[in-house]
């Protein structure tokens, strides 16, 4: 492919850098090792283009580059260093020379490395790929765990005894067939079971979602949700520890009700009436439970989704590190288990359009709760939802996290964060304007938000957008 100046200008006009496109100024030179690492990272993310001689910040001015004046020799060095071919092209743009690296995608089931580091990009940084991501790459082409067999050599009656077919049809809002054949045909059409020479196989996806009792499936029972309730705000005293038995879809409503029943409640005065209010609203529990079930890594063994209820917070975690960076949970979406997500959506348990975390953050804002905390731990993704805490009781990290999430939520809603909007999020009066300015400044310093370049150059009318926007 021959790159034209017009193509360069088209790339410059994109909203933001993507997995397949990277800009660097490199007016005079560019470090060889850094180049090797970028080529490896972009190849691991599906391939793309690295452009030298273009500013990486909008409006991405062409500044020209004198780097790598011998593309043929550099291409040979690149091949020796990274082990795959990268074509290099010089484009004479009216505003200066642009060097374009054509980086191919990695092969299926293969990840590239440089000096032992399997690299990917995270914002402006190059970081090692997680163990979870590498395992997923190396497993490409192999059968997905959800499509493996949970139980085989079954009769039609065995299938109906093990799978809650009544709930299956109710969740899909379909009439229950008049005979067993109709039930089995529908399950087979949904690729939940398979018929082999007159007998049936139940797949893991059917057992995980629709099992009457997950303990009936040896390879699936460890995926059941566990709910642990503690007395106080630490793990020292356990009040109860229960592991569910029903499949995720048929047991979801009961799971939500059980967790809500275990939440502490506080008394508040509203319109002169004393009311009992749960620590966390049901919509938050529902959305985060659905997310934890859908986005878990089923390949990890000996672990399951866990809900931990404390006196002051709820922690919901699932096996596997996220495939979307935590800082992009609100605006980004990529399903780890697409078929599971599709079925859960059709069952009415979730929406497959990245609205779950938005709802959680929005609910926290409406109720003026501390911002939820999204964490990545070893082979685990954790969400912490805090109970009611007034502004004075929030520490600096609570306030900055709330500022960042408010800014992203405003962006998703096609709005911009202002001092006033953040003040209203915290429920503060106009007299708190200086305090809010300090929180925004801290978020800017931490590289979470930035000034909106299209806003008036006035502190009074300043607007803010996410750092990646």
Could you read off the pLDDT of 141-174 as tens digits, one per residue? 777 899 999 999 999 999 999 999 999 999 999 9
Lowest mean pLDDT among 51-60, 108-117, 357-366, 395-404: 357-366
What CA–CA distance (Å, rounded) separates 225 from 247? 9
pLDDT of 139 above 80: no
**Helix H or strand E segment including 440:** helix 433-445
Average pLDDT over residues 333-343: 84
Spatial distance between the Cα atoms of 299 and 400, rounded to a whole number of angstroms: 35
Sign of CA dihedral 445, 449, 454, 459: negative
Q: What is the pLDDT of residues 8-33, one digit of tens each?
A: 999 998 766 666 899 999 999 999 99
The tokens of 323 are what?
A: 């495939």
pLDDT value at residue 108: 86
Nearest to 400 by CA among 363, 366, 430, 425: 425
**Mean pLDDT calculated for residue range 406-414:** 91
What span, in angstroms and rounded, lies between the C-alpha atoms of 374 and 367? 19
pLDDT in tens, 87-101: 999 999 999 999 999
Q: Which domains does the chain have, with CATH numbers?
A: 5-138 (3.30.950.30), 145-217 (no CATH), 224-386 (3.30.565.60), 397-466 (1.10.10.10)
Q: Which residues pair with 90 in a beta bridge?
A: 99
* pLDDT for 460 beyond 80: no
Phi/psi for 285 (5° steps) reads -60, -45
**Can you tell me the mean pLDDT for 106-117?**
92
Give the span between the Cα atoms of 19 and 202, in whole angstroms. 38
> Does 366 have pLDDT greater than 90?
no
Question: Across the chain, what does the average pLDDT equal?
Answer: 90
Q: Who has greater pLDDT, 66 or 460?
A: 66
């Amino acid at each position: 492919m021959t790159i034209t100046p017009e193509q360069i200008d088209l790339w410059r006009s994109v909203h933001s850098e993507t997995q397949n496109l990277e800009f660097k100024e490199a007016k005079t030179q560019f470090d060889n090792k850094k180049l090797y690492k970028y080529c490896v990272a972009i190849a691991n993310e599906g391939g793309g283009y690295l452009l030298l001689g273009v500013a990486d910040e909008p409006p991405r001015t062409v500044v020209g580059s004198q780097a790598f004046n011998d593309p043929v020799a550099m291409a040979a060095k690149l091949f020796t260093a990274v082990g795959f071919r990268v074509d290099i092209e010089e484009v004479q743009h009216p505003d200066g020379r642009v060097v374009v690296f054509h980086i191919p995608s990695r092969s299926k089931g293969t990840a590239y490395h440089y000096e032992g580091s399997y690299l990917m990009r995270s914002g402006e940084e190059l970081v090692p790929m997680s163990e979870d991501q590498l395992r997923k790459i190396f497993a490409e082409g192999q059968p997905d765990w959800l499509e493996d067999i949970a139980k085989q050599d079954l009769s039609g009656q065995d299938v109906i005894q093990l799978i809650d077919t009544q709930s299956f049809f109710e969740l899909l809002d379909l009439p229950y067939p008049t005979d067993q054949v109709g039930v089995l045909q529908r399950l087979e059409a949904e690729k939940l079971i398979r018929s082999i020479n007159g007998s049936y196989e139940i797949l893991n996806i059917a057992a995980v979602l629709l099992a009457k009792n997950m303990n009936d499936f040896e390879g699936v029972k460890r995926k059941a949700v566990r709910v642990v309730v503690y007395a106080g705000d630490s793990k020292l005293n356990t009040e109860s520890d229960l592991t569910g038995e029903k499949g995720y879809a048929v047991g979801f409503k009961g799971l939500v009700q059980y967790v809500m029943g275990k939440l502490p409640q506080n008394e508040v005065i509203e319109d002169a009436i004393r009311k009992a209010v749960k620590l966390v609203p049901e919509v938050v529990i529902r959305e985060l439970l659905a997310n934890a079930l859908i986005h878990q890594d089923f390949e990890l063994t000996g672990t399951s989704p866990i809900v931990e209820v404390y006196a002051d917070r709820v922690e919901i975690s699932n096996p596997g590190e996220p495939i979307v960076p935590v800082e992009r949970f609100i605006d980004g979406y990529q399903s780890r288990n697409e078929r599971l997500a599709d079925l859960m959506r059709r069952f009415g348990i979730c929406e497959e359009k990245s609205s779950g975390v938005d709802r959680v953050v929005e609910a926290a804002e409406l109720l003026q709760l501390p911002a939820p905390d999204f964490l990545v731990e070893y082979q685990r993704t954790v969400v912490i939802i805090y109970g009611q805490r007034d502004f004075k009781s929030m520490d600096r990290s609570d306030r900055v996290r709330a500022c960042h999430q408010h800014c992203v939520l405003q962006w998703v809603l096609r709005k911009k964060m202002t001092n006033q909007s953040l003040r209203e999020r915290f429920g503060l009066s106009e007299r708190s304007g200086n305090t809010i300015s300090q929180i925004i400044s801290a978020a800017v310093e931490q590289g979470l938000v930035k000034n909106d370049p299209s806003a008036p150059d006035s502190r009074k009318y300043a607007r803010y957008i996410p750092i990646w926007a």
